[in-house]
Amino acid sequence: MGGDRGPEVTIPASLTCLEENPELHVILVGDEAIIKSTLGQALTEHGGRLSIQHASECVEMDESPSKALKNKKDSSMRVAINLVRDGKADACVSAGNTGALMATARFVLKMIPGIDRPAIISTLPSIYGHTHALDLGANVDCTAEHLFQFAVMGAELVKAVENIESPKVGLLNVGEEDVKGNEQVKAAAKLLEKSSLNYIGYVEGDSLNAGHIKVDLIVADGFVGNIALKSIEGTAKMIGYGLKKAFNKNWLTMLTGLIAYPVLKSFKDSIDPRLYNGASFLGLRGLVIKSHGGADELAFRTAIHLAEIEIKQDVIKKISAQVEQTLAKREIA
């Protein structure tokens, strides 16, 4: 039901994913009448791989997370997360209210023992392909220990989904030199240096997209991570806007634009934010994927694909095992 356009986007996206992946099962959670009318004939077309779970309420996009959690016990996101808790679903994918989804997921699924705070991880396009980054906004105040925990969880996720042995982990900072940074970052660096992670040191903001070396995972406080993410979105938007304006200047530039269109389009497609849609909540005992609220069908499909990959790679189990192992090591040391 969530996102700016609701079932109009989430249902067609789900149907396409069912066609693409014969192993996929989808439970559509929300207002049964609306879902049925949007589905039409499609309900019976996927050999039992598509079902509906009714939920009588719906969290609004601007509703306060605490109110949603307290008052809407039969909301579509709550019911969907309950399915994950009860083992009836392997993941919940939602385009709904981020804060409410996080609060509900945390309340219902609980944290992995040893992890203090959940974090939001996603991928960003880079000159090396892409980079994983967390926390992108779940926590506005993080201690060094939180940053360390994010690194442990993030590295395990990157290992699983990218199939790399030892992902390079960088800590987002205002410079690469040891003396740079605030107290949290400096203390987190010390924890990371002592760890078994492939910690490469401090990285600057440009490393998210175009650093001088490839970094697999970039760790930051959610305040900084979110602002960096939005700054990147703003810059991409400004450049897109400026290019369009330059090509629309007069008939000659418009003609040029027509000629250059296929090349510009192929590049634009390669950094299409819809292909990077979907952020995972890490630190919970179940898989929850947040899609951008403004997602269209293609974008929402990307978020479902992300869930498929993380389910297949058993990411939650691997992270839980890694966290347990890290904690055990610390107790010995």
Report the interface residues with a copy of itself, using CB under 8 A: 64, 125-127, 137, 140-141, 172-174, 179-183, 204-211, 220, 222-224, 226-239, 241-243, 245-247, 249, 253, 256-257, 259-260, 262-264, 266-267, 270-271
Nearer to a copy of itself, 114 or 223 (CB): 223
Nearer to a copy of itself, 7 or 222 (CB): 222
End-to-end CA distance of the chain: 48
**Residue 152 Cβ vs a copy of itself, minimum distance, rounded to whole Å:** 22
Q: Give me the amino acid identity at 39.
A: L
**Residue 84 Cβ vs a copy of itself, minimum distance, rounded to whole Å:** 26
Nearer to a copy of itself, 260 or 309 (CB): 260
Nearer to a copy of itself, 277 or 326 (CB): 277
Nearer to a copy of itself, 19 or 116 (CB): 116
**Residue 94 Cβ vs a copy of itself, minimum distance, rounded to whole Å:** 18
* CA quadruple 102, 107, 113, 117: dihedral, nearest 10: 40
Q: Crossing angle of helices 297-312/144-162, nearest 10°?
A: 90
**Residue 277 Cβ vs a copy of itself, minimum distance, rounded to whole Å:** 17
The 10 Å Cβ neighbour count of residue 211 is 19
Q: Crossing angle of helices 222-247/251-270, nearest 10°?
A: 150
**Residue 137 Cβ vs a copy of itself, minimum distance, rounded to whole Å:** 6
The DSSP bridge partners found for residue 54 are 30
Distance between CA atoms of residues 187 and 196, nearest Å: 16
Distance between CA atoms of residues 110 and 129, nearest Å: 34
